[in-house]
Amino acid sequence: MTYQKALKTLLVVAAFPAISNAQDAATHPTYAKEVSRIIQDNCQVCHQPGSVGPMSLMNYEEVRPWAPLISMRVSNREMPPYHYDTDAGIQELQNDWRLSQADIDTIVNWVNAGSPMGNPEDLPQPKMFPAVDEWRLAGELGQPDHIIKSEAWDVPANGQDLWWKPIVDAGIDESRCIKAVETRPSAAAIGSTHHANSHFKVLDASGNWVNGDRLSEFAIGKLGEKVPKGACRKVPANSKVEWEIHYYPNGIAVPNDQVSIGIWYYDEEDDFVEEESYRQDLRAYFLTASTDDYMIAPHGKLMTQGFQSFDHPVRIDSWQPHMHLRGVAMSLEVFYPETGRTEVLSQASNWTSAWNHSHTYQEGFQPLIPAGATLIMTAWYDNTADNPMNPDPDQWVGSGQRTTDEMSHAWIAVSHLDEEAYQALLSERKEREKSSVASVDGAN
């Protein structure tokens, strides 16, 4: 549903009866006491003046007219925009935006009661949020240790998809392990920066510049990437960075635009020694045998699959689906050939290209994949009018780089393990599970 259509539903606000503060405080949630805190903690970071949300939700007067729409969106788990299933796969995630069922019920009950204000003395103190042009990981990690900028480029107000692929000096004079990395579009071009990928270029033995490991990947809505302690995604000294920035003009011209990458390093006292660390890389694992072997028929649907196995054990640290406007769902599974068992690792059944999240598993809950097991990646596409993101269901849609084309891959951060490290992680996992069972038995 578009916001224009949703506006029509707001007429039902007038139908809600006024409820006295004394009555609603005793029998129903109020904005002041309960709902304001939920919205402050989960919504206002985007729904404030100058941010990406289409309306501001900073106080009761701003929230009240949108109350029925808010209820509908949170009930359908469309907001906050974190599209990860609650009933399939690993649920222990970092930076998980999903509301608890208790918070959803509180909002729904509040709206059903007429969206009462309650006692203003119950309101929380206002919360400070980072500006659009500030690093989103800075609140947790401080300012980046190192910043790399793309070369400036003029983004036009109108036109078709555009790509800018400059190569810049990284400005890195020492090889170190990345703690976190965030790619940040400029505040002026945040609406037109579709994605921004980057990888290192390094000198080979012959003195030629060749492609090295990937540095980062950004798509609309992504927070950033954090590397688990003990894994090392390394920045090479004296390297260059090659960008691939995809702009899709949105009506606003931005002269001399630059995209920035912030890098946070692990401290030297973390004792990262390259040969003793788990080497992590970030790759796009494709869901088709090639990048141009499928077409989605007008008013049709499609499923694609891809498979990836390793000749050594690995740990999956994060999973990020990537499709375009017809993409609606993706799953990640693992097949164990020795037992014939298939396990769901992660699934997003209500995916949208408006938000691209790197789902980072909590420490100790990352999938451990033995050598020879196969990752199964499945994507679903909807080219019908039922897909609200679909710009034209009458078109044939093939794979390609344009926004109106389709893509079929997942960005996956993989820590490559030897057998000893794999067995050590398995032992830690089993000991934790034993302790958890013992705690439950003791409580009973």
Q: For the residues of 363-412, what is the DSSP string, one character each? A: TT-S-EE-TT-EEEEEEEEE-STT-TT-S-TTS-EEB-SSTTSB--EEEE
Answer yes or no: is pLDDT of 21 > 50: no
Classify residue 17 by its DSSP letter. Answer: P
pLDDT digits (tens, 9 = 90+) for 39-62: 999 999 889 887 778 899 999 999
Answer yes or no: is pLDDT of 7 > 70: no
pLDDT at 133: 79
49 or 327, greater pLDDT: 327
Q: How far apart are CA 383 and CA 298, in angstroms?
A: 6
Angle at 43 between CA 39 and CA 47, to 5 degrees: 120
* Structure-token pair, residue 321: 């689906």
Name residue, tokens 């949105």: 250
What is the Cα Rg of the chain in Å?
A: 24
The domains found in the chain, sorted by start residue, are: 3-122 (no CATH), 133-276 (2.60.120.230), 277-438 (2.60.120.230)
pLDDT at 438: 59
Q: How far apart are CA 375 and CA 306, in angstroms?
A: 8
* Structure-token pair, residue 370: 């033995």
Cβ atoms of 364 and 428 within 8 Å: the answer is yes
* Structure-token pair, residue 73: 């969106």
347 or 5, greater pLDDT: 347
> SS3 sequence, 196-218?
EEEEEEEECCCCCEEEEEEEEEE
- CB environment 191-200: b (16+ within 10 A), e (fewer): bbbbbbbbbb
Helix ranges, 57-215 (H): 60-63, 67-75, 101-112, 138-141
- Kindly state the percentage of the chain with pLDDT values over 90: 60
| Range from 18-27, 234-243, 390-399 carrying the lowest mean pLDDT | 18-27
Query: With the CA atoms of 269, 273, 274 and 276 taken in that order, what torsion angle do they form, in degrees rounded to the nearest 10?
Result: -130
pLDDT band at 434 (very low <50, low <70, confident <90, very high): confident
pLDDT digits (tens, 9 = 90+) for 253-282: 999 999 999 999 998 766 555 545 578 888
* Structure-token pair, residue 175: 């090889």
Q: In whole angstroms, how far apart are CA 409 and each of 244, 305, 322, 329?
A: 17, 9, 6, 12
Q: In whole angstroms, how far apart are CA 284 and each of 205, 218, 265, 291, 376?
A: 27, 12, 23, 12, 14
pLDDT digits (tens, 9 = 90+) for 203-246: 999 999 999 988 998 887 787 888 888 888 889 999 999 999 99
Q: In whole angstroms, how far apart are CA 373 and each of 334, 370, 427?
A: 7, 6, 19
pLDDT at 187: 87
- Phi (first) and psi of residue 426, to 5 degrees: -60, -45
Q: Residue 383: count other Cβ atoms within 10 Å of its Cβ.
A: 25
Cβ atoms of 104 and 61 within 8 Å: the answer is no
Q: How far apart are CA 435 and CA 444, in angstroms?
A: 14
Classify residue 100 by its DSSP letter. Answer: P
Angle at 154 between CA 219 and CA 211, to 5 degrees: 55
Give the dihedral sign, CA 196/183/131/133. Answer: negative
Residue 211 region, left (φ>0) first, then alpha (ψ -120 to 50), else beta? beta
pLDDT band at 440 (very low <50, low <70, confident <90, very high): low
Tell me the pTM. Answer: 0.78
Of 180, 181, 216, 212, nearest to 195 by C-alpha is: 216
